[in-house]
Amino acid sequence: MSRTTRSKPQPYVEEAHTIKPRNVSFQWEEVPLHYIPDEPLATQFWNVMHLVIPIGERLMAGALSEALPFIADERLREEAIGFIGQETMHADSHEGYHEHLAAHGIDVEPVVRNASLMLQKILSDHGLKGRAKKEWLAERLAFYAAAEHFTAVVGQWLLDAEGLDEAQMHPMMLDLLRWHGAEEVEHRDVLFDVFQHVDGSYARRARWALLASAGLLGTWLVSLNHLMAQDPSRRWWKPWPLQIAGAVRRGLVPSLTIFATEIPVYLKPGFHPSSMGTLDSAIRYLATSPAARAAEQGA
Ligand SMILES: [Fe+2]
Ligand SMILES: [Fe+2]
């Protein structure tokens, strides 16, 4: 594969790690509403991921499918197909939790509907044809490449988040988040490489990095607000910023400042996702994740 955007060779790339979906499954019957015990805000923070992220993952998988005919490099094409499989499995797995959340009395429908309407309105193919269709595809790939930078950062955060173990988060939910996080780290190169291969405009990359950052942060906060309003144990007397800061301090959620601090990192002209560190902890987690191991044994 041509890696012309890379500032210097990255050893693991030569190992040609294959991106492939794992056919995981989760059972939610035993999972309590607050799967991080006594932590309503942190629990609802991760519930936003269950509700909103699948919408983006399905749109992203669709855009990448549209891009396949433009990917001349065989190896990158294989990675893109594996990536589509992984994102589809992420979306299926998070959506599998919606019913259980609703059974706990949380009305998930408005969050899903509003996020879906907004994302569809902005990111659908709009029925364009010819050159306009390809240009719009490049715009969307730039958006998804930036979004994938944030998911890789959060994925690594989840792998390192000892606070979630210390808080005794429900093991199945922790495995869902870490399996997803590990695959985000594992496939962090793919969308960026596809965007560079198909288009690679720096102006597009910069514009959509800013939009992705603001859009993700805004969507997360609006959705969190809706979920917290329904949480029977919410600490209504405590201002939100203080609750978020407390959850960050206890290592239960990542700091929202990443939406600002990661922009200069991503916008460095020679940036490539492989410069974000090794894949070791992601690969190690995927080798021990109960869901990933069960999928491996059932394959
Ligand atoms: Fe994902
Ligand atoms: Fe991803």
pLDDT at position 7 is: 42
Ligand 1 centroid distance, CA of 180 (Å): 6
Quick count: other Cβ atoms within 10 Å of Cβ 67?
Answer: 23
Ligand 2 centroid distance, CA of 83 (Å): 7
Q: Closest-lying ligand to the alpha carbon of 92?
A: 1
Q: What predicted TM-score, i.e. pTM, was given to this entire model?
A: 0.92
Ligand 1 centroid distance, CA of 60 (Å): 10
Ligand 1 centroid distance, CA of 225 (Å): 23
Ligand 2 centroid distance, CA of 15 (Å): 20
Ligand 2 centroid distance, CA of 233 (Å): 32
Ligand 2 centroid distance, CA of 151 (Å): 6
Tokens read off for 8? 């210097």
DSSP secondary structure letters along 124-150: S-TT--HHHHHHHHHHHHHHHHHHHHH
State pLDDT tens for residues 190-239: 999 999 999 999 999 999 999 999 999 999 999 999 999 999 988 788 88
188: left (phi over 0), alpha (psi -120 to 50) or beta: alpha
pLDDT at position 157 is: 98
Domain boundaries, the chain: 35-298
- CA dihedral (107, 114, 185, 273) in degrees, to 10, reads -160
Ligand 2 centroid distance, CA of 230 (Å): 29
Cβ proximity of 89 and 206 under 8 Å: no
Ligand 2 centroid distance, CA of 154 (Å): 11
Q: What is the pLDDT averaged over residues 269-290? A: 95
pLDDT at position 299 is: 67
**Ligand 1 is an ion; residues with CB less than 5 A from it:** 87, 90
Ligand 1 centroid distance, CA of 236 (Å): 32
**pLDDT bracket for residue 3 (50, 70, 90):** very low
**Sequence-distant (≥ 6) Cβ neighbours of residue 69 within 8 angstroms:** none
Phi, psi of 205 (to 5 degrees): -60, -45
Q: What is the pLDDT averaged over residues 68-91? A: 97
pLDDT at position 298 is: 80
Tokens read off for 222? 């609006």
